[in-house]
A and B are shown apart, each in its own frame.
Chain A
Amino acid sequence: MNTTIITNIQGFSIHDGPGIRTVVFFKGCLLSCRWCANPECLSKKPEIGFIHSLCQQCGKCLEVCPNNAIRSGEDVYRIERLRCDSCGKCVENCDYGALVRYGDLMTVDEVWDAVRRDKMFYDTSGGGVTASGGEPLLHAQFVKELFQLCHNERIGTCIETSGFVDTDAFLEVIPVTERFLFDLKHMDSVTHKKYTGQFNDQILKNARVVVESGVNVLFRQPLIPGVNDTTTHIEATAAFLKTLGKKALSLELMPYHRMGQDKYKALNMEYRMENTPIMSYDELEAIKKAYMDLGINCSISR
């Protein structure tokens, strides 16, 4: 039976494709974008998150941890990441919800069972399932099997991808996928590597493959102040989209937010975007207009 690690299955998602959707968050991603809002999906392995503000220091987790991985400091507890094997015993025993486990091993049938339950909402809204993450295409076979089941029950299928996977992964899922939400983070390959850890050539190549396959695709861009909001970059993005043909002349901007910051803390990870400002409504509208002026049908995800 095909299994993989899933961090979350979120019903009533309204920003991740058409209609009301259930988003399945796969674990693991080959990029490490500094602004990533889902840091718990970066590693392929299950992890334990620790929400300091909820901890009452009752000591139960210290008692139950088989690996002695939780340490009590002067006023906070801390997880020794090297000792922790993410068994989840501390999570089960925490009365205050201060410990969370990110990542559960699930079969296709288990995910399917969670997804199909909201069929009545997909039916009235034109929604369905969205595979997200992490990078869902690192689990292409799993996604394919899941989407096949959805397809049979007329449940919409959508993939949110960074594009940074082997082209074969795309080819595997395209026949059962209705729609791609395809991220374009930066058009300059060196800058791309600086902020995401990887060059962008593979991503741009896959973008072309997806468009040429004829499947529905919406390109999206996380809009990061100081990184990809310059006029030069707007022009470069528009120019690239134009090379893909008429079908690809749309772009959805996803304004930077720091809602994921707490999860960095919970995972003991460094948040490298500390001083990035939140764009105002007017600034966002100005960038949208710049794209529109270049012939790109631009929208803002809010």
Chain B
Amino acid sequence: MVTINNDLLNQIDGLEISERIQQWKNAVKDSHWKLFCDRERWTLASWKETEGEDIQIRRAKMLRKILENIEIKIQDFDVIVGRLTPDVIGCATAFDISGDYIPDIWKDTAELNITMDASVGLDAESLEVLRESVRLFKGSTAPEMTYKAWASIVGSWVTDAEKARLKDPTLDTGIFAQSTSVLMWEKILKQGIRSVIDDAKKRIEDYAKEPETDGQKLIFWESVIMVCEAAIHHSHRYALLAREMAETEKNGNRKAELLEIARICEQVPENPARTFHEALQSMAIVGVCKNYENPMHNNPQWGRGDQYLYPYFIHDLNKGTITLEKAAELLMELVGRWGTQTFVSAESLKESHQINFAINNIMLGGVNREGLDSSNELSYLFLHIVGLLRLSSPTVGLRWNRNTPDWIMSKAIRTNLVTKGGIPLFENDEVVIPHFVEDGIPRDEAGEWCGLGCVYPCLPSRAEHYGSEGVAAVNLAAMLHLVFHNGIDVNGRLTGVPTGDPREFSSFDELYSALLTQHEYITHRVFELAAIARDEQGKHLRLPFLSAMGIEQCMELGQDLLIPHPDFTMMGISDRAIIDVTDSLMAVKKLVYDEKKLTMDELLNALDADFEGPRGEEIRQMCLAQPKYGNDIDEVDRLAGTLSADSYRIIRSYDNSPFRKYIIAREGLAWHYFGGLGVGALPNGRKAYEPLNDGALSPMRGRDKKGPTAVLRSAIKAGFKESFASVLNQKFSATMIQSKDSVEKLVAYTNAFMLNGGSHIQYNIVDTNELRDAKIHPEKHEDLIVRIGGFSAYFTQLSPDIQDDVINRNEHHM
């Protein structure tokens, strides 16, 4: 185990945001979000030149064309160069990847809506380039061709199921195998990407000597050489630009910086990084090249940055070749840049994710190969700088294990306070690693797991197909809706299987088994479609750069990762809304079968009327009053556990050979809004189309009445042992955890949950704005507890002037 330098930790605590980073932050704040059509321009040019060539080569040449020609810029405050667009905030489109995915592009508009609440400016010339590109690619991209293949087999079923929110529509979002996952950063930094070129050349030479017949391998390696050379060239373009700028630069300091940029860009990413600065610069260029290859949902990810960067960091610090301030500033520059990278979402992603910034993940700490915790001073620095930056991205996770030391835990909790919550989230090594090992992954490889985007655990060494074949999640609440309507979905289509009129069901067991029937029908069908997508996508898309930088076995097998191979492919799914369904089933069990307070007919009529009508509200209150998960009530918590196990059984019963079986990770994002749109009123008391519960193990909003520890006890009892990680969100007001003492208590609280088998927990620290909102919209914030000096109350039950007191306190201490 590394010996931790406490003085260094104290110095880190004292670091503040530097002038240079503040300049960047101001630039981000002041800049209008702009859409840059430059990538599209060069994509078009290349695609026209290469008509008729092999898809692998075409894609490689396309990336090369982009990297050689796209406009690059070095901003005044840049020390690390390599950015997707010349401006600090900008986004690029990807019609070659996702086809006609932006309806706005056809409107007469000077603005393009890119997310739920952000638009980008557009000029007439750019718009023309974009439209030309859409016309060229429309209908022939991997997602579009997959939808066509699906339609030829199941007709409108896929779109029906997506509209009924039974499955996630992830295909047009540009998520392809590994595309949101982590590159082989350690190898890239240690060996440089020239080594990958040499490797490919060697393999081509060897190929000639061996009795090989698969010419596709040769083509793959050639494509790798092409894109890696292009990435090196791209870096050299920055070197050249920096030298040019240095010549006319009047300020001596800046001149020196520019010359240093030039020197470093000539060294990396081609050659091994020798310093912390070179390592970050190498990552910046490789990251941006990954992004040019596929700007959709393919942002660079850190993975275990505190591990592979540590040797460079500590070496330079100890040798005195870098100051802590400088190291922190460099790290902040790249964390900030990757955290503010935007892309134009597909419509479906806007709804389900509601994100402005591309997700990227930093996973800190975790057990090392000796079973000891690997948190180090750089983990601490990462936490500190995300606290200083206060951005909505990156997602930061801390891998908890029973040896995770208090110093990193308390820094993690304090970072939650500073960032107002969620950063970092906590995931459990002792749940995730055994899961991978049970699934046949070697222990050492499993120990390298990190977050895919947010919570979903993935192995950087393998191509993760979560979401990439048109399936990320199935919605159990929408399945329950099918049960209540004999297979008919919320839009009146028969997307489910007829399981009979529930009014005829004679027992709870019959109802329950109808749910499992729907589940198996929907889920297995979705898996069959995924297999079709898997075959189809590789015909229309290849990602040679991502393959070479991401997966060792792609190089060995001579195969692009868009042609999945069982050796390096992981498949996963999130079976969502288990708690909504549990609470609903429990209410039906009690009201209809056990206590017979309602007939099934009365209940279903009330649900179909969305609890309107003469007895509507009364029945809804009866539903709400039934035992709810999250209150440490055995009967309902165990039902959640049973449903979890049955769902697992159904998912694992799908024979996915020759590929691995699907793993389960119950993540959430903002999906509960999206998922709720496919579900009518439920017997848990939720009204039609309202959001479902957030997360996987979070209780129904406002229905956990026994305090936060009871929620955790329920979660532990429900277990969800079948899942690699299950999202549990908890909300605390800032006033509750402002003293050192309370921080320690929240550490102990987290430790207790994780020690007892919790897989994930994330804290939302309620900020003043939310308190203000709760004052105006109490119905949205029923679960908000405030605790002040031993006094505890539901915020919404306080009178307005007392609420103001609480708001003032909250503000004072933030």
Residues in chain A within 8 A of chain B (CB atoms): 10-16, 19-20, 23, 37, 51, 53-54, 95, 97, 117-118, 120-121, 123-127, 254-255, 257-262, 265, 278, 281, 301-302
Nearest CB in chain A: distance from B712 CB, A: 8
Residue B321 interfacial (CB < 8 Å)? no
CB-CB < 8 A to B787: which residues of A? Answer: 13-15
- The one of A95, A125, A257, A260 that contacts B748, using a Cβ cutoff of 8 Å: A125
- The one of A117, A123, A254, A257 that contacts B805, using a Cβ cutoff of 8 Å: A257
Beyond A121-B749, A124-B755, A302-B739, is A11–B802 a contact (Cβ under 8 Å)? no
- The one of A19, A54, A120, A260 that contacts B791, using a Cβ cutoff of 8 Å: A260
Q: 6 closest Cβ contacts across the A-B interface?
A: A125-B748, A15-B790, A11-B707, A124-B748, A11-B709, A124-B752
CB-CB < 8 A to A262: which residues of B? Answer: 793, 797-799, 802
CB-CB < 8 A to B738: which residues of A? Answer: 302
Nearest CB in chain B: distance from A16 CB, A: 5
Interface residues on B, range: 35 or more
CB-CB < 8 A to B710: which residues of A? Answer: 11, 117
Nearest CB in chain B: distance from A248 CB, A: 21
Complex: chain A residue closest to B708, CB-CB: A12
Question: Judging by beta carbons under 8 Å apart, are B752 and A259 in contact?
Answer: no
Count of A-B residue pairs with CB < 8 Å: 105
Question: Judging by beta carbons under 8 Å apart, are A257 and B752 in contact?
Answer: no
Interface centre among B713, B736, B739, B797 (most CB of A within 10 A): B797
Residue B788 interfacial (CB < 8 Å)? yes
CB-CB < 8 A to B789: which residues of A? Answer: 15, 254-255, 257, 259, 301-302
Complex: chain B residue closest to A130, CB-CB: B790
Residue B216 interfacial (CB < 8 Å)? no
Give A274 to B262 CA distance when docked, in angstroms.
69
Q: Which of B715-763 contact A (CB under 8 A)?
A: 735-739, 741-742, 744-745, 748-749, 751-753, 755-756
Give A117 to B709 CA distance when docked, in angstroms.
9
Nearest CB in chain A: distance from B369 CB, A: 27
Give A13 to B788 CA distance when docked, in angstroms.
10
Question: Judging by beta carbons under 8 Å apart, are B790 and A13 in contact?
Answer: yes
CB-CB < 8 A to A118: which residues of B? Answer: 709, 713
Interface centre among A54, A118, A255, A265 (most CB of B within 10 A): A118
CB-CB < 8 A to B745: which residues of A? Answer: 14, 19-20, 125, 127
Nearest CB in chain A: distance from B416 CB, A: 15
CB-CB < 8 A to A10: which residues of B? Answer: 707, 792
Residues in chain B within 8 A of chain A (CB atoms): 617, 621, 632, 706-710, 713, 735-739, 741-742, 744-745, 748-749, 751-753, 755-756, 787-793, 797-799, 802, 805-806, 812-813
Nearest CB in chain B: distance from A181 CB, A: 10
Give A123 to B753 CA distance when docked, in angstroms.
11
CB-CB < 8 A to B632: which residues of A? Answer: 117
Complex: chain A residue closest to B618, CB-CB: A95
Beyond A13-B790, A20-B745, A281-B812, is A261–B707 a contact (Cβ under 8 Å)? no
Give A262 to B802 CA distance when docked, in angstroms.
8
Give A14 to B753 CA distance when docked, in angstroms.
17
Question: Judging by beta carbons under 8 Å apart, are B709 and A259 in contact?
Answer: no
Beyond A10-B707, A261-B802, is A120–B621 a contact (Cβ under 8 Å)? no
Question: Judging by beta carbons under 8 Å apart, are A16 and B790 in contact?
Answer: yes
| Interchain residue pairs with CB less than 8 A apart (25) | A10-B707, A11-B709, A12-B709, A14-B737, A14-B787, A15-B787, A15-B789, A15-B790, A20-B709, A51-B797, A53-B799, A54-B797, A117-B632, A117-B709, A117-B710, A117-B713, A123-B752, A124-B748, A125-B749, A257-B791, A259-B793, A262-B797, A262-B799, A265-B799, A302-B738
Complex: chain A residue closest to B744, CB-CB: A125
- The one of B749, B755, B798 that contacts A259, using a Cβ cutoff of 8 Å: B798
Complex: chain B residue closest to A97, CB-CB: B797
Give A258 to B709 CA distance when docked, in angstroms.
26
Beyond A125-B745, A257-B788, is A120–B756 a contact (Cβ under 8 Å)? yes
